[in-house]
């Protein structure tokens, strides 16, 4: 225990410093701990050490007043691409995530089993962002930029045994198997075989599947029939053929049934795989995404996670639900909710300090729809593992 030194005669020498960092006076939104209101949060030894209505500043080595700001658990981006160095479009997670309040991110299948060790050793184990990954069913992962070919155009690139081994060998970082049922990824006749192989590999590895459903050559109901509770559908709000709405614009009953059974619906974004009108239809019918994610990689190309949250807020999603979708629900979706996604005492010491900015903002999609908004969430401070995150280079 360290005692503070305060040279002022009226100082309170002898007050024990209990905490490394204290965030004071923030409006805390922590659905995972069922907490909403003005609280102080203290961190020490990399974890949340105390949450209370008032924690004396004298007890902390560093105190930041966050009056008027929102404080949430560190945000979790359940779908991004961070295999830095593999393809030109993949950015570094520390550039895309930490400046935007995201402390945990999930690489959604940029690497398959043959290149996963490079993602693990060069990025996941080196970066400050807490990075997990889905392993792609295609051994080489997403390498279309350099090969000019969709990752499953050649089904010989699937090696179920090696994929299962890769997932089993990396339990600390791998959270599941990824497959894309997209006409740019595979030939239409290979959509069902790809799903069969994905199901077989996931069953053997005992892991969840994340399936990309945008631009699918087969009906969504066929894709959903391969999924089990805990599996994740990403990009459900796309506006391409075989979409989630029927001809009258209603959410298809099989989508409602899938959600009821415990299949998780992850927004994704990346503009190309999200249609604002489809999102609006879902929200108007009371069907919210379980998790909100960017499908992003680089700040110059993608919306940040607070921006994607802002889109959903503007479309009518309540703030508390949008925070749940990027904290509590996201942590549960990757099976890490015991330690992540909440500010309860003992959790990882990750927090996002956000502000709701006023101005004229616009969010666009691939179809050319534009959503105008008077508000936008923006990150003002990120706490990672109990310390203020600062860019070091
Ligand atoms: Zn993606």
**DSSP letter assigned to residue 123:** I
Say what the pLDDT of residue 88 is. 93
Strand (E) or helix (H) holding 335: none
Say what the pLDDT of residue 7 is. 47
Statement: residue 9 has pLDDT above 60: no
Say what the pLDDT of residue 262 is. 98
Q: How, if at all, do strands 2-3 and 16-17 pair?
A: antiparallel
Say what the pLDDT of residue 11 is. 42
Per residue in 190-205, pLDDT (tens digit) is: 999 999 999 999 999 9
Say what the pLDDT of residue 34 is. 97
**DSSP letter assigned to residue 155:** G
- Average confidence (pLDDT) over 320-332: 98
CB 345 within 8 A of CB 73: no
Statement: residue 13 has pLDDT above 90: no
Q: Of 12 and 29, which is predicted with more confidence?
A: 29
Instruction: Please give the angle made by the CA atoms of 110, 114 and 117, to the nearest 5 degrees.
Output: 75
Question: In a 10 Å sphere around its CB, with 0-12 CB exposed, 13-18 middle and 19+ buried, how is residue 121 labelled?
Answer: exposed
CA 56 vs CA 7, 62, 245, 347, 349: distances in Å:
18, 11, 53, 21, 19
Q: Domains of the chain (ranges plus CATH)?
A: 2-72+348-388 (2.30.40.10), 74-333 (3.20.20.140)
Side by side, the strands of the sheet bearing 232-234 are 75-80, 102-112, 130-136, 174-180, 208-212, 232-234, 264-266
Structure tokens at 54: 């008032």
- Rounded to the nearest angstrom, the distance between the alpha carbon of 279 and the centre of ligand 1 is 18
Q: Of 96 and 390, which is predicted with more confidence?
A: 96
- Rounded to the nearest angstrom, the distance between the alpha carbon of 81 and the centre of ligand 1 is 6
- Rounded to the nearest angstrom, the distance between the alpha carbon of 374 and the centre of ligand 1 is 28
314-319: long-range contacts at Cβ-Cβ below 8 A with a sequence spacing of 24 or more? 314/363, 314/371, 314/373, 314/375, 315/276, 315/279, 315/280, 315/283, 315/371, 316/280, 316/283, 316/284, 317/283, 317/288, 319/29
Per residue in 61-85, pLDDT (tens digit) is: 999 999 999 999 999 999 999 999 9
Statement: residue 87 has pLDDT above 90: yes
Statement: residue 8 has pLDDT above 70: no
User: Quick one: pLDDT band at residue 14, thresholds 50, 70, 90?
Assistant: low
Structure tokens at 125: 């184990």
- Rounded to the nearest angstrom, the distance between the alpha carbon of 295 and the centre of ligand 1 is 5
How many whole angstroms separate alpha carbon 373 and alpha carbon 356? 12
Based on its alpha-carbon atoms, the radius of gyration of the chain, rounded to whole angstroms, reads 22
- Rounded to the nearest angstrom, the distance between the alpha carbon of 358 and the centre of ligand 1 is 30
The whole-chain average pLDDT of the chain stands at: 94
User: Quick one: pLDDT band at residue 226, thresholds 50, 70, 90?
Assistant: very high
Say what the pLDDT of residue 3 is. 47
- Average confidence (pLDDT) over 234-248: 95
**Cα 229 to chain center, whole Å?**
19
- Average confidence (pLDDT) over 271-283: 91
Hey, which residues does 52 pair with through a beta bridge? 40
- Rounded to the nearest angstrom, the distance between the alpha carbon of 108 and the centre of ligand 1 is 6
Hey, which residues does 194 pair with through a beta bridge? none
Rounded to the nearest 5°, which phi and psi values hold at 249? 80, 15
Statement: residue 263 has pLDDT above 80: yes
Statement: residue 356 has pLDDT above 80: yes
- Rounded to the nearest angstrom, the distance between the alpha carbon of 155 and the centre of ligand 1 is 20
High-pLDDT (> 70) share of the chain, %: 95
- Average confidence (pLDDT) over 85-95: 96
* 116 three-class SS: helix
- Rounded to the nearest angstrom, the distance between the alpha carbon of 80 and the centre of ligand 1 is 6
**DSSP secondary structure of 295-320:** -B--TTTS--HHHHHHHHHHTT--HH
Statement: residue 359 has pLDDT above 70: yes
Statement: residue 4 has pLDDT above 50: no
Statement: residue 335 has pLDDT above 50: yes
- Rounded to the nearest angstrom, the distance between the alpha carbon of 282 and the centre of ligand 1 is 21
- Rounded to the nearest angstrom, the distance between the alpha carbon of 323 and the centre of ligand 1 is 21
- Rounded to the nearest angstrom, the distance between the alpha carbon of 185 and the centre of ligand 1 is 12
């Amino acid at each position: 225990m360290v005692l503070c030194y305060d040279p002022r005669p009226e100082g309170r020498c002898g007050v024990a410093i209990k905490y490394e960092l204290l965030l004071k006076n923030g409006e805390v939104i922590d659905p995972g701990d069922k907490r909403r209101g003005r609280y102080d949060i203290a961190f020490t030894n990399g974890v949340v050490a105390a949450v209370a209505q008032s924690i004396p500043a004298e007890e902390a080595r560093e105190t930041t007043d966050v009056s008027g700001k929102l404080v949430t658990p560190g945000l979790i981006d359940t779908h991004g691409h961070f295999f830095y160095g593999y393809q030109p479009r993949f950015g570094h997670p520390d550039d895309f995530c930490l400046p935007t309040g995201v402390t945990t991110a999930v690489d959604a299948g940029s690497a398959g089993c043959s290149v996963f060790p490079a993602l693990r050793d060069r990025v996941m184990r080196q970066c400050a962002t807490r990075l997990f990954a889905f392993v792609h069913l295609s051994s080489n992962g997403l390498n279309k930029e350099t090969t000019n070919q969709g990752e499953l155009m050649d089904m010989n690139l699937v090696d179920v045994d090696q994929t299962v081994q890769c997932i089993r060998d990396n339990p600390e970082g791998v959270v599941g198997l990824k497959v894309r049922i997209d006409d740019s990824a595979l030939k239409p006749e290979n959509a069902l075989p790809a799903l069969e192989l994905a199901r077989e590999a996931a069953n053997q590895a005992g892991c969840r599947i994340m399936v990309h459903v945008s631009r699918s050559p087969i009906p969504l109901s066929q894709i959903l029939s391969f999924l089990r509770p805990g599996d994740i559908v990403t990009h459900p709000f796309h506006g391409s053929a075989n979409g989630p709405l029927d001809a009258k614009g209603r959410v298809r009953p099989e989508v409602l049934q899938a959600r009821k059974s415990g299949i998780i619906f992850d927004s994704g974004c990346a503009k190309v795989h999200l249609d604002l009108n489809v999102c609006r239809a879902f929200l108007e019918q009371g069907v919210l995404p379980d998790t909100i994610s960017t499908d992003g990689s680089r700040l110059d190309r993608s919306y940040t996670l607070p921006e994607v949250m802002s889109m959903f807020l503007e479309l009518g999603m309540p703030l508390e639900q949008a925070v749940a979708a990027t904290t509590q629900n996201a942590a549960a979706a990757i099976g890490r909710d015991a330690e992540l996604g909440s500010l309860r005492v003992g959790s990882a010491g990750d927090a996002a300090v956000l502000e709701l900015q006023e101005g004229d903002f616009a969010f666009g999609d691939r179809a050319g729809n534009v959503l105008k908004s008077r508000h936008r969430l923006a990150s003002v401070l990120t706490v990672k593992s109990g310390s203020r995150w600062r860019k070091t280079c």
